[in-house]
Structure 1
C-alpha cells in the first residue's frame, strides 16, 4: 500500500534530538524548509516505487488513494512512461509492434520522419494536446500539400501511435480522441475498357509486354505479383493461379521475393481458358530459367534478370502512347479486372477476394460508382427480359390481375366482406 512521508521531519528521530523550532513535537531533517514538504509513495503494478512531492499532506494522501484505486480498477497510468519522447515511442515501441513486413515498416519509418518528427521532435508523449493534434493534421494539406488518400493514410498511422500509447498505459487518452480524421478522398476510378486494353496489347514491341498486359487484365495482379509470378504457381489442369509472394526491390539488396503485405493478399485466382492458353504459349516460346535465385520466374529481361517496377511502367506507358490511349498506369489494369467482374454481376465479396483486399468495405469504397453502374445494367436486363413483343411503353400500363386461385390474403378479404354483409 502507498503512504505519505513528511520530508521536513525525521520519522524516527534519535533519542535526545532537538525539537524543531517551527513544528512542535517534530525533529527537523536535513532538508527542512527546502522544496515541498509532503511526499507520496506507492508501488506500481510493475513493482517499482513511484514518488511525487506535494504542498500539503491532504494532496499527497489523495495522490496515494488515486493511484491505489487505479491499480485495483486496471486504469493505472505510468507517469514516467508518459514522459517518453515521441520519437522513441514511434521507433522503439510502435514500429516493432506493427504487424507487417519489414519493407512496409521502412515505408512507415519514412512517413514518420517526413511528417511527424519534424513537428514534434523532443516532445514527451503526454504533452500533446488535442488542439495540437488537430493543427498537425491540417499541416498535412497546408504545409506538406498532401492530397487524395495520402492525408488520411498518414494521419491514420500517427493516430495509431497514440492509440498504442493508451493501450500501453503511457497516457490516459489519445489527443486525437474527438478530432476528426482527414476526409478520405478516393479518386474516381476510370479503368480502360476491353477494347482499349486490346488496342494497347497490339502496340507491344515484345511478346513479354503483350502477354503481361493481357494476363494482368484477366487476373488483376499487382505489379510485384505479376513480376514475381513463377511457373510453380500456375496450375494448368484446375486452371488456377496461386498468389503467395511478390517481387520487390531494395537499394543495396536488389530484387528478391518477399511475402505479401497482408494475409488477405494470399489468394487463388481462377483462370479462364484464354489466360491458360496465353501462359502455355508464352512458356513454350520463352522457357523460364531453371537455376539461380529466380528459377521458374515467368517474365524476365534478357539474361533471366527480373523486371523492375519502373521498367514495366515505362513499357506500359509507351504502349498506351503508341495506341493513342490515355496515359494509364499499370495499376489501372487491376481496376479494369475489377470493373469487368462488377459489370458481370459478380458478388462484391468475391470481387474483394479476387483482388486480395483486406475487407469488402475497402472494395466498395473504391468501386462504389462501378457497382452503381452495375445496378443500372441489372435493371436493363430485367426490362429486356420482361418486355413483350411490340411493347414500347417505358412505364407500367394497366397491370393485368392474376388469374386462377385467389391468394390467401384476397380469400380472407372476400370472407370478411360476406360476414359484414
Structure 2
C-alpha cells in the first residue's frame, strides 16, 4: 500500500533543528515552499516505486487509492508512460513490432514519416484527442491529396500505432476508438479475357515474354513471384507450384530473393496440364542457371541475370501495342486468372487461397462485380432444380410477367406439404 510524504517538512528532524515558522510543530526541510507539498508514493505492479506531486494531502491520498484500485482490477497504467512522443513510439516501438520484411519496413516508415510525424510527431501520445484523430484522417485527402485505397492504408498503419499503445498500457484508450476509418475504395477490375491473352502471347516478340504472359495467366502469380520463380519450386510429377519467395528490388542492394510479405502469400498452386507442358518445354529450350546467386531461375535475361520489374512492364506494354489491344499492366494477368476461376464457379475462399490474399474480404472487395456476374447462372441453377417434370427453366414465367404459379409451387402448398 502506498503512503503520502510531506516534502516541505522533515520526518526525522535533529534535536537542534529550528521549528518551522509557518507550520507549528514541524521542522522545515530544504524543499519548504518549493513546488507542491504532498507526494504520493506507491509501487507499480512490478514493484517499482512511482511518485506524483499534489497540492493537498487529500489529493495525494486519493491518487494512491486510485492507483491501488487500478492495480487490483488490472487496468493500471504508468502515469509517465504516455509522455512518450508519437514519433518515438511509432518508430522505436510500433515499427519493430510489426514483424515485416525489409521492403515493407520502408513502406510503413515512409507512411509514418510523411503523414503522421509532420502533424503529431512531437506530441505526447497521451495528448491526442478523438476529435484530432478524426480531423487527421480528413487531412489525408484534403491536405495530402491521397486517393483510392491509400487513405485507408495509411490510416490503418497509424491506427495500429495507437492500438499497440493501448495493448502496451501506454494509453488507456486509442483516440481512434469510435472514429470510422476512411472508406476502402477498390477500383473495379476489367481483366483481359482468354481471347485477348492469346493475342498477347502471339504478339510477344520473345519466347521469354510469351511464356511469362501465359504462365501468369494460368497461375495468377504476382510480378515478383513470376520473376523470382525457381525450377526447384515446380513439382512436375504432382503438377504443383510452391510459391514461397519473390524477386524484389531495394535501393542500394539491387535485386534479390525475399520472403513473401504475408503467410497467406505462401501457397501451393495446382498447375493445369497446359502450364506443366509450357514450363517443361521452356526450361528444355532455355535451361536455368546451374549455379551462382540466380541458380534455377526459370525466367531470366541473357547471361542468367534476373528481370527487373520495369523491364517486364516495358516488355508488356510493347506487347500490348504490337497485339493491337488497349495498354494494360502486368497485374491484370493476375486479375484474368481470378476472373477465370470465378467464371468457373470457384467459391471465394478458394479464389482467396489461390491468389494468396490475407483474407477473403480482400478477394470479395476486388472482384465483387465479377462474382455478381454469376448471379444469372445462380438463377438458372435454381430454376432448373425447381422446374416441374417436363418443364424447362426457360418455360417458367415470373408472376410479374403475368404468368401463373402452379398450385403445387405456391408457398401455401409447400407449407401444407411440410405440415403433413
Distance 1:53 1:389 in 2: 85
Gaps of 5+ in 1: 414-421
Report matched runs for 1:215-234 at 5 Å: 215-234=215-234
* Residue in 1 that maps onto 2:406: 399
> 3-state DSSP class of the match of 1:301?
coil
Q: Which moved more, 1:156-165 or 1:100-109?
A: 100-109
Q: Which moved more, 1:75-84 or 1:222-231?
A: 75-84
> 3-state DSSP class of the match of 2:89?
helix
Distance 1:163 1:344 in 2: 41
> 3-state DSSP class of the match of 2:287?
coil
Distance 2:397 2:195 in 1: 31
When the two chains are superposed, the root-mean-square deviation of aligned CA atoms in Å is 2.2
CA contact (8 A) 2:384 2:392 kept: no
Shift of 1:18: 2.5
CA contact (8 A) 2:289 2:297 kept: yes
Give me the TM-score of the superposition, normalised by structure 2. Answer: 0.92
Give me the TM-score of the superposition, normalised by structure 1. Answer: 0.92
* Residue in 1 that maps onto 2:143: 143
Q: Which moved more, 1:19-28 or 1:4-13?
A: 19-28
Shift of 1:308: 0.5
> 3-state DSSP class of the match of 1:269?
strand
* Residue in 2 that maps onto 1:61: 61
> 3-state DSSP class of the match of 1:218?
helix
Distance 1:380 1:398 in 2: 17
Judged with a 3 Å threshold, the aligned counterparts in structure 2 of structure 1 residues 278 and 172 are, in CA distance, closer, same or farther, namely same
Gaps of 5+ in 2: none
* Residue in 2 that maps onto 1:114: 114
Count of aligned positions = 410
Report matched runs for 1:191-210 at 5 Å: 191-210=191-210
Distance 1:390 1:4 in 2: 85
Distance 1:127 1:391 in 2: 66
Judged with a 3 Å threshold, the aligned counterparts in structure 2 of structure 1 residues 410 and 72 are, in CA distance, closer, same or farther, namely closer
Shift of 1:159: 0.5
Distance 2:41 2:143 in 1: 46
* Residue in 2 that maps onto 1:417: none
Matched, 1:265 2:265: yes
* Residue in 2 that maps onto 1:35: 35
Report matched runs for 1:22-421 at 5 Å: 22-380=22-380, 388=391, 394-395=397-398, 397=404, 399=406, 401=408, 410=417
Judged with a 3 Å threshold, the aligned counterparts in structure 2 of structure 1 residues 407 and 371 are, in CA distance, closer, same or farther, namely closer
CA contact (8 A) 2:82 2:171 kept: yes
Distance 2:315 2:113 in 1: 33
Distance 2:358 2:109 in 1: 22
Judged with a 3 Å threshold, the aligned counterparts in structure 2 of structure 1 residues 391 and 105 are, in CA distance, closer, same or farther, namely closer
